[in-house]
Structure 1
Amino acid sequence: MAIKAAQVKELREMTGVGMMDAKKALVETEGDMEKAVDALREKGMAKAAKKADAVAAEGMTYVAEEGDKAAIIELNSQTDFVAGNKEFNDLLHTVAQTIVEKEPADVEEALNLDVDGQTMNELIIHTTQVTGEKITLRRFKILKKGANQVMASYSHMGGRISAVVVLEGADEATAKDVAMHVAAINPKYLASQDVPADVLAHEKEVLMNAEDLEGKPENIKEKMVEGRLHKYLAEISLNDQPFVKGDGKETVEAYVAAKGGKVVDFVRYEVGEGMEKAENDFAAEVAAQMG
């Protein structure tokens, strides 16, 4: 039977589960709302949904490699304590391996992938039940290397930061060095020409209004801002950054070129970057559980 959007919405509001899970439950129970709720409760989804409003900004990053591909993922939990336990780490490795093998287009598609007879989302919900914390797949990216290309990854701080780098030419040792640099220095773009025009325009506007330029002639301000913009681009562009393992004078681009290659692509994930982290009052939580 055809399931209406209004039914899916109602079931989602009753249980807090995701849209696809709500629709699946309604299809299985032929639109019977009560049976659908029971079905979700039996699977533990409704229980896990109580964690839906919690902020999961801790967790781990991880890189799984297979052949010419690598998948870098970020899996979040509410506390770093859970991120360090076996259940979470087993899930982390399974999710990354499944993604690198099956190459889903986005997170929604990834959550619906089959993992030994259950969806990835169901697997995550099961781990949420076991750990008692909300766990979410936040993001991932798949990188591929072509002919005459090498790829390497590097994880730092026990998986809080991971980086993957693809080079044309050179060797894996060089790629590993660049991956370490990316993890440590956090470049935003590969090259200065990759910086979007609006980002550059905004930075120029900020620099033009700098206090130390107040009262200076426009032509002098333009020249000084041009120099500062050049420095800004060098700070955020991987190719132009001083290589972290070098003497401070050699850029990443020059270092890789000396090894017979050039950087093609890179990705860097850091746990929780850009997310608002919850301030936990553990004393209040314990008191509430004892009351």
Structure 2
Amino acid sequence: MAIDLNKLKELRERTNSGLLDCRNALEQTNNDIEAAIKYLQEKGIIKAAKKASRIAAEGIAKAFVKDNLAIIFELNCETDFVAKNKLFLDLADKIQNALILANFKNDDELNKIKINNKTIEELCNDLTASIGEKITLRRAEKYVANSNEVVAAYTHADSRIAVIIKAKGNNVEQIRHVAMHIAALNPSYLFECSLPKDLHDKILSKVENDPKLANKPEKIQASIKSGMLRKEFNDLGVLMFQPFVMDEGKTVAKFLEDTNLELLEAKRFEVGEGIEKKTVDFATEVAEQMKQ
């Protein structure tokens, strides 16, 4: 049977599938575009299952604000090339819109959110089959601003780091600056009270028994202790003790105080953090592709 070249072109554009796969699909479905898409989808589900064990550690992290909501999510793929693919970015936009309306408490609920009668997990599997890389929505979180609270979001230019933040107060622009600070410096803890108790106690004991305090008047001791604790907590990556990136003469805590803001929560996502990446040499990778 002769293949309609216009339909072949359309099928490739709509599914982003390979030329031979599209040709075969049209042959199997007598040049019926919709039937060919269904054929590729059914075939692709099998391919997607084979990719389930692959490691998807590239992709994008996005943060955004809609009214009183701040939302952050990470959508993963296997290579940074696919992270720039239009189909991948279109899926990210659909997920972003869906998260505005959805309520979710964990990853299972997250991936069951529906977009046009398909779950996010199903849409990720469809795209996996289409472009040949494992696609997963790894995680997402949402903050809701109540009365006298503000939320802000920051996504870095390369879409690999994103931050959402919530505070008491009403200065959105200034709290967004703190989100930018968090994106840049990646603090390990937000507050002094966030430190593990044993670590916190160890720092306090170290400062309290420092030889520099010997024979110093009480007021001088208090000043020395304050400076030492500030340095210790900054070294440990406690946000409130870090010099603020936009005014290093102030700590983040001082900047918040000066702008009448009280930090409540913040979340930072970086693409691939915590995922153990598998290193495969080129020859092995080609061999694996040929097996499939």
State the TM bucket, normalised to the shorter chain.
Answer: 0.7 to 0.9
Give 1:228 deviation, angstroms: 6.7
Q: Render the CA deviation track for 1:133-170: whole Å, top value 9, x for unaligned.
A: 01111111111111122221111141100011222114
Q: Render the CA deviation track for 1:51-73: whole Å, top value 9, x for unaligned.
A: 11111111110124322112201
CA 1:128–1:193: 2 relative to 1, 3 Å: same
Q: Render the CA deviation track for 1:41-93: whole Å, top value 9, x for unaligned.
A: 83743320111111111111012432211220111111111111111111122
Aligned to 1:163: 163
Q: Is the 8 A contact 2:230 2:241 kept in 1?
A: no
> 2:57 is aligned with what amino acid?
A
Q: Is the 8 A contact 1:64 1:100 kept in 2?
A: no
Give 1:174 deviation, angstroms: 0.2
Aligned to 1:243: 244
Q: Is the 8 A contact 1:154 1:179 kept in 2?
A: yes
Aligned to 1:74: 74
Q: Is the 8 A contact 1:170 1:259 kept in 2?
A: no
Report SS of the residue matched to 1:80: coil
Corresponding pairs, count: 238
Q: Render the CA deviation track for 1:100-138: whole Å, top value 9, x for unaligned.
A: 311211111111122101111110101111221011111
> 1:239 is aligned with what amino acid?
M
CA RMSD of aligned residues (A): 2.9
Alignment of 1:111-260 (within 5 A): 111-200=111-200, 219-220=209-210, 231-235=231-235, 236-246=237-247, 248-260=248-260
Q: Is the 8 A contact 1:107 1:138 kept in 2?
A: yes
Aligned to 1:263: 263
Report SS of the residue matched to 2:243: coil
> 2:140 is aligned with what amino acid?
F
Unaligned runs of 5+ in 1: 1-40, 209-217
Give 1:181 deviation, angstroms: 0.4
Bigger mean CA offset, 60-69 vs 269-278: 60-69
For 2:264 and 2:113, how far apart are their aligned partners in 1?
Answer: 30
Give 1:290 deviation, angstroms: 6.1
> 1:245 is aligned with what amino acid?
M
> 2:55 is aligned with what amino acid?
V
> 1:126 is aligned with what amino acid?
D
Q: Is the 8 A contact 1:188 1:238 kept in 2?
A: yes
Aligned to 2:18: none
For 1:59 and 1:147, how far apart are their aligned partners in 2?
Answer: 35
CA 1:87–1:176: 2 relative to 1, 3 Å: same
Report SS of the residue matched to 2:189: coil
Report SS of the residue matched to 1:125: helix
Report SS of the residue matched to 1:275: coil
Identity percentage over the alignment?
38
For 2:90 and 2:183, how far apart are their aligned partners in 1?
Answer: 23
Report SS of the residue matched to 2:153: strand
Bigger mean CA offset, 127-136 vs 230-239: 230-239
Return the TM-score normalized by structure 2.
0.72
For 1:232 and 1:84, how far apart are their aligned partners in 2?
Answer: 41
CA 1:65–1:170: 2 relative to 1, 3 Å: closer
> 2:239 is aligned with what amino acid?
L
Q: Is the 8 A contact 2:110 2:140 kept in 1?
A: no
Q: Is the 8 A contact 2:64 2:153 kept in 1?
A: no
Q: Is the 8 A contact 1:150 1:167 kept in 2?
A: yes
CA 1:58–1:173: 2 relative to 1, 3 Å: same
Unaligned runs of 5+ in 2: 1-40, 214-224
For 2:199 and 2:97, how far apart are their aligned partners in 1?
Answer: 35
